[in-house]
């Protein structure tokens, strides 16, 4: 009689991780596994809080023939790269955020900010903002028509190892967690202009509808994310 083969528990790109601080259990943030088929490692990108968009090391994709990582590999990387993580209180979910959930998280997050929820780019007119207003952590939603049908998803400007670029990380939908698309920035500046963002979208998307562009005016907060997504997490 053949022994049963136990399935390997693994997490693919787009998986979400909630990490608490060892010294303060109320201090925590959410992260996403980011990468692509061209990479042998997944990056850990923060998606909530003041440091949203920050790169916090990488995780080995240790499941043979896939772009997946085991919980052990994820926890090992977290313990080395993130300041004082409570490795006994890490929540991981393979749920991919959808747009409805993202807008609900943003709506609840906006209650903590004294500013509007988002800028809706009507008729592709530049909003009245500073020349370099978009830094890592900026979230935008745009319609794209790569194969004729509309694909509407959200993306975050993320930190990249090359200081001359921001990486675009998709944070919603089936392809959540995928990166590999870049927007140029000046090395001595930590933000890009509205015009830079538009040019980056034109360059990286096949047929973007810029009239559909929505830019979030603030970061997501962990409390709002957990209120919406907590049923999907396991400890």
Q: What is this structure's pTM? A: 0.88
Do 107 and 58 lie in one domain? The reply is no
pLDDT bin (cut points 50, 70, 90) of residue 161 is confident
**pLDDT at residue 129, rounded to an integer:** 53
Last residue of some domain: 96, 121, 142? 96
Do 81 and 140 lie in one domain? The reply is no
Residue 226 lies in a domain: no
- The distance from CA 155 to its chain's CA centroid, rounded to whole angstroms, is 7
pLDDT bin (cut points 50, 70, 90) of residue 76 is confident
Do 153 and 58 lie in one domain? The reply is no
Provide the number of structural domains found in the chain: 2
Q: In what order do the strands lie in the sheet with 181-184?
A: 118-120, 208-216, 139-144, 151-158, 165-170, 181-184
Residue 168 lies in a domain: yes
Do 176 and 194 lie in one domain? The reply is yes
Last residue of some domain: 96, 112, 137? 96
Range of the domain at 138: 99-216
């Amino acid at each position: 009689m053949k022994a049963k083969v136990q399935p390997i528990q693994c997490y693919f790109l787009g998986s979400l991780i909630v990490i608490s601080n060892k010294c303060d259990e109320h201090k925590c943030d959410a992260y996403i596994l980011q990468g692509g088929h061209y990479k042998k490692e997944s990056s850990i990108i923060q998606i909530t809080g003041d440091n949203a968009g920050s790169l916090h090391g990488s995780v080995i994709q240790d499941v043979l023939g896939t772009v997946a990582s085991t919980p052990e590999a994820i926890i090992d990387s977290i313990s080395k790269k993130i300041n004082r993580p409570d490795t006994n209180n890490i929540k991981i979910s393979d749920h991919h955020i959808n747009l409805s959930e993202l807008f609900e998280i943003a709506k609840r997050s906006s209650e903590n900010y004294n500013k509007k929820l988002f800028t809706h780019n009507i008729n592709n007119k530049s909003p009245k903002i500073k020349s370099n207003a978009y830094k890592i952590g900026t979230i935008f939603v745009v319609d794209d028509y790569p194969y004729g049908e509309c694909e509407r998803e959200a993306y975050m400007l993320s930190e990249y190892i090359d200081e001359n670029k921001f990486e675009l990380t998709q944070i919603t939908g089936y392809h959540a967690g995928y990166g590999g698309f870049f927007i140029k920035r000046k090395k001595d500046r930590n933000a890009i202009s509205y015009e830079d963002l538009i040019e980056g979208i034109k360059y990286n998307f096949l047929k973007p509808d810029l009239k559909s562009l929505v830019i979030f005016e603030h970061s997501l907060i962990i409390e709002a994310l957990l209120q919406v997504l907590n049923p999907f997490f396991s400890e």
